């Protein structure tokens, strides 16, 4: 059945081992983030079998899915939790990222009722302007948070390179470490965590410039795809043959390269631009924006160009392809992070788990 996403477990296992090895040398623990592949249980198992002790995801429903699949791990919730899901958060995860006192209050009630002490990592906004307490407000935040039973301030963390596209640097992570030292003195936690997020931190680890005191990294993309998008590179010691998408050709025709008639916005409210290249041979594959982020599909055959897509169809220019393409043929794509995320989430994309090479 197509479209189909192939998931190469041996390649992912290689990446886990490589990242864990380099992190352990620096005294850093890595949380293996599975949200990019929609928490495929087979991938989570490979993470745990090859060195990760913590599994991170932003959706509590994914933890339920993993637990139902028999996965046992320390689960870290990466999205600051909604009040309406806190009972599940406490029962299904070991810790969560947090940035609001109101959430601490509700967590306290739920954890205390369950006779638990639940760990939270206070998020600090060091510049990306997504979630987090501003550095100058953290001490007051922690002072108030400590008043609530059933909740343990287990560390501080930050997120970078998501909303504001701010890269992790020695400067902003040193600020996190400085804040963490103050908080650690306030809470007297021996195994205190200073947690930095994102594959972009991996380069600092490699270069030996990761500030001393950062002892946890939350990494998904590098392990899942072998790439470091923030630094626009393929990580040289990691494999990139981890996920590949197959789509079936349903039409092949020679057509003009510019649409004919009065133009308006497309089905997604965008006004597309077309270059007049004359008549071109085009193929349509049966996958679209409902299934995948088409802009992050990269044909394995460099002679194929992705022209665009609707919700159900993706249009390719196949004029320069050496072998003739016909209806029923399969086109293979490498995927970027967003394409992997949507393809693993879509119920219309079959997932094929490759266990051996």
Whether 1 is covered by a domain: the verdict is no
Of 1, 80, 3, 13, the closest CA to residue 244 belongs to 3
Q: Give the domain-ending residue among 212, 233, 254.
A: 233
Q: Could you tell me the residue range of the domain that residue 102 belongs to? A: 9-233
pLDDT of residue 163: 87
Alpha-carbon distance values, 205 to 54, 173, 217 (Å): 19, 12, 10
Indicate whether 302 and 204 sit together in one domain: no
List the one residue out of 101, 104, 44, 46 whose CA is nearest residue 75: 44
Residue 291: CB partners within 8 Å, gap ≥ 6?
Answer: 3, 342, 343, 346, 348, 349
- Whether 64 is in a domain gets the answer yes
Q: How many C-beta atoms lie closer than 10 Å to residue 300's C-beta? A: 12
Question: What is the CATH classification number for the domain harbouring 84?
Answer: 3.20.20.10
* Eight-state DSSP code of residue 149: T
**pTM listed for this prediction:** 0.95
CATH of the domain at 274: 2.40.37.10
- 18 with 155, same domain: the answer is yes
Q: Is 228 found in the same domain as 251?
A: no
pLDDT of residue 184: 98
Question: 91 pLDDT exceeds 80?
Answer: yes
Same domain, 189 and 69: yes
To which residue do tokens 């159900």 refer? 312
Q: What integer pLDDT is reported at residue 264 of this predicted model?
A: 78
Asked if 80 contacts 123 with a C-beta cutoff of 8 angstroms, the reply is yes
The residue-averaged pLDDT of 176-185 equals 98
pLDDT at 271: 76
**Do 90 and 51 share a structural domain?**
yes
Given this model, what pLDDT does residue 259 score?
85
Asked whether residue 83 is assigned to any structural domain, the reply reads yes
What per-residue confidence (pLDDT) applies to 251?
A: 98
Measuring CA to CA, which residue among 214, 213, 181 is closest to residue 200? 214
Residue 71 CB neighbours (<10 A): 19
Cα–Cα distances in Å, from 56 out to 39, 72, 281, 316? 9, 13, 44, 36
Choice among 4, 17, 26, 35 that is catalytic: 35
Q: How many domains does the chain have?
A: 2
Percent of the chain, pLDDT > 70? 100
Q: What is the pLDDT of residue 312?
A: 97
pLDDT exceeds cutoff 80 at 230: yes
Q: Residue 197 falls within a domain, yes or no? A: yes
What is the tens place of the pLDDT at every residue in 32-62? 999 999 999 999 999 999 999 999 999 999 9
User: In a 3-state reduction of DSSP, which class is residue 278?
Assistant: coil
Residue 35 is among the residues annotated as catalytic for this protein? yes
pLDDT in tens, 122-157: 999 999 999 999 999 999 999 999 999 999 999 999
pLDDT tens profile 103-128: 999 999 999 999 999 999 999 999 99
pLDDT at 355 exceeding the cut of 80? yes
Q: Return the closest-CA partner of residue 11 out of 244, 207, 172, 316.
A: 244
pLDDT digits over 243-283, tens only?
999 999 999 999 999 888 887 777 778 777 788 899 999 99
Alpha-carbon dihedral sign for residues 16, 21, 22, 27: positive
Average pLDDT taken over every residue of the chain? 96
Q: Which helix (H) or strand (E) holds 353?
A: strand 350-354
Query: End of a domain among 233, 264, 292?
Result: 233
Bridge-based pairing of strands 151-158 and 118-123 is parallel
183 and 206 share a domain? Answer: yes
pLDDT at 208: 96
Residue 255 lies in a domain: yes
Per-residue pLDDT band at 222 (split at 50, 70, 90): very high
Alpha-carbon span 315 to 321, nearest angstrom? 14
| pLDDT in the model for residue 262 | 81
A 10 A CB-CB count for 246 gives: 19
User: What pLDDT, on the 0 to 100 scale, is given for residue 330?
Assistant: 98
């Amino acid at each position: 059945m197509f479209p189909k996403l192939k998931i190469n477990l041996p390649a992912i296992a290689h990446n886990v081992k490589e990242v864990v090895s380099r992190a352990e040398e620096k005294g850093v623990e890595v949380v293996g983030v599975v949200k990019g592949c929609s928490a495929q249980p087979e991938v989570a198992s490979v993470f745990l079998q090859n060195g990760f002790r913590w599994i991170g995801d932003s959706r509590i429903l994914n933890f339920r899915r993993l637990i139902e699949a028999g996965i046992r791990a320390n689960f870290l919730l990466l999205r600051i939790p909604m009040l309406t899901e806190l009972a599940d958060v406490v029962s299904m995860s070991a810790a969560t990222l947090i940035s609001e006192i109101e959430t601490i209050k509700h967590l306290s009630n739920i954890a205390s009722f369950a006779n638990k002490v639940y760990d939270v990592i206070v998020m600090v906004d060091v510049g990306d302007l997504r979630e987090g307490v501003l550095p100058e407000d953290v001490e007051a935040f922690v002072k108030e948070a400590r008043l609530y039973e059933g909740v343990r301030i287990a560390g501080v963390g930050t997120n970078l390179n998501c909303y504001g596209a701010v890269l992790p640097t020695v400067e902003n992570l040193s600020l996190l470490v400085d804040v963490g030292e103050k908080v650690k003195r306030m809470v007297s936690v021996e195994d205190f965590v200073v947690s930095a997020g994102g594959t972009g931190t991996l380069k600092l680890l490699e270069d030996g410039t990761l500030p001393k005191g950062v002892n946890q990294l939350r990494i998904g993309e590098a392990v899942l795809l072998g790439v470091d998008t923030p630094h626009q590179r393929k990580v040289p010691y990691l494999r990139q043959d981890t996920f590949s998408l197959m789509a079936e050709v349903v039409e092949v025709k020679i057509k003009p390269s510019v649409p004919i008639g009065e133009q308006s916005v497309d089905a997604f409210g965008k006004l597309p631009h077309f270059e007049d290249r004359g008549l071109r041979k085009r193929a349509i594959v049966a996958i679209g924006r409902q299934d995948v982020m088409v802009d992050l599909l990269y044909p394995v055959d460099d002679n194929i160009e992705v022209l665009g897509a609707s919700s159900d169809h993706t249009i390719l220019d196949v004029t320069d392809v050496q072998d003739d393409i016909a209806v029923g043929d399969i086109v293979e794509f490498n995927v970027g992070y967003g394409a992997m995320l949507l393809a693993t989430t879509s119920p219309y994309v079959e997932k094929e788990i490759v266990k051996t090479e």
